[in-house]
Structure 1
């Protein structure tokens, strides 16, 4: 499976949006595959929850939504290895108080470089979802600008 992912990572260089989402059920090995890719490419994945969370903790709660996008850009620029960025633990981006659109952020980052991210939700009927309908963080997206890599 890692060989298929490595081939896909090399192939997306020619696309306008270079975003691959690793999609699978909980405990399907998404993070393990990302770590295997990281090892083969000699890059450290960006843990959004830990890295962005620690930066936001130093900012007053009412101002966090104003700084989140800028802090994320700084973190991604620092963690990217050339034109490749690996991302895990993006759940913090769905926090409603930050007023972010997580998939849009990933898509925008993927215009400048190849981005491979672990998707914490599901792919159903050609739609990406995060959280269940009725949950305050529920999101539903089309696959536009995304290359899904499903892990069984």
Structure 2
């Protein structure tokens, strides 16, 4: 099964280069995969966003954290020559206190780097959805200009 996913992603990586936002979401049953192992199989950089981003945010006072969060997130991609990243565990991006727009943030980064992002939320024909309507972390992302690899 992982071999099939690797082959699909290799095709997606070629296809995504023609998009303005080079963003590939993995939705559905993909969430059961070991994405760190997958990144090794694809020879791409793996980032556990919850772990790395929260580590960086701890260095910033809570008073200015929301204002500086977007630039701090972009710092995750500095100091590397890599152009492709697998971003796992992105739940912190939905943290209401950070006041981020996760879709816009990922789109902005994906104009410079190719991003592969496992989506642990729900999926409809048109949207990727994080959390339930009414929840502080509720987020709905239109899938029109990105690749969504579903299984």
Q: Which TM-score band applies after superposition, normalised by the shorter structure?
A: 0.7 to 0.9
CA contact (8 A) 2:130 2:137 kept: yes
SS in 2 for 1:35: helix
- Partner Cα separation in structure 1 for residue 110 and residue 70 of structure 2: 15
* SS of structure 2 residue aligned to 1:112: coil
- Which residues of structure 1 form unaligned runs of 5+? none
Distance 1:133 1:40 in 2: 37
| Paired position in structure 1 for 2:64 | 63
**Residues in 2 aligned to 1:88 and 1:94: alpha-carbon distance in whole angstroms:** 14
Q: What residue in structure 2 maps to residue 108 of structure 1?
A: 108
CA change 1:103–1:80 in 2 (3 A) is farther
Return the TM-score normalized by structure 2. Answer: 0.87
Q: 1:77 offset after TM fit, Å?
A: 2.9
- Contact 1:107-1:146 within 8 A present in 2 as well: no
CA contact (8 A) 1:128 1:143 kept: yes
- Kept in 2, the 8 Å contact 1:131–1:138? The answer is yes
Which residue of the partner structure matches residue 48 of structure 1? 49
Name the CA shift for 1:97/1:57 in 2 (closer, same or farther; >3 Å): same
Alpha carbons of structure 1 residues 40 and 17: separation in structure 2 relative to 1, 3 Å: same
Structure 1 pair 118/106, CA: closer, same or farther in 2 (3 Å)? Answer: same
Contact 1:107 1:145 (C-alpha < 8 Å) held by counterparts: no
The answer for the alignment partner of 2:73 in structure 1 is 72
Q: 4+ residue stretches of structure 1 with deviation over 6 A?
A: none
CA deviation after TM superposition for structure 1 residue 86, in Å:
1.3
Aligned length in residues:
147
The C-alpha deviation readout for 1:94-147, integer Å capped at 9, x for no partner, is 011111000111111111121111122111132111100111111112113221
Q: Which position in structure 1 is the counterpart of 2:21?
A: 17
Post-superposition offset of 1:43: 2.7
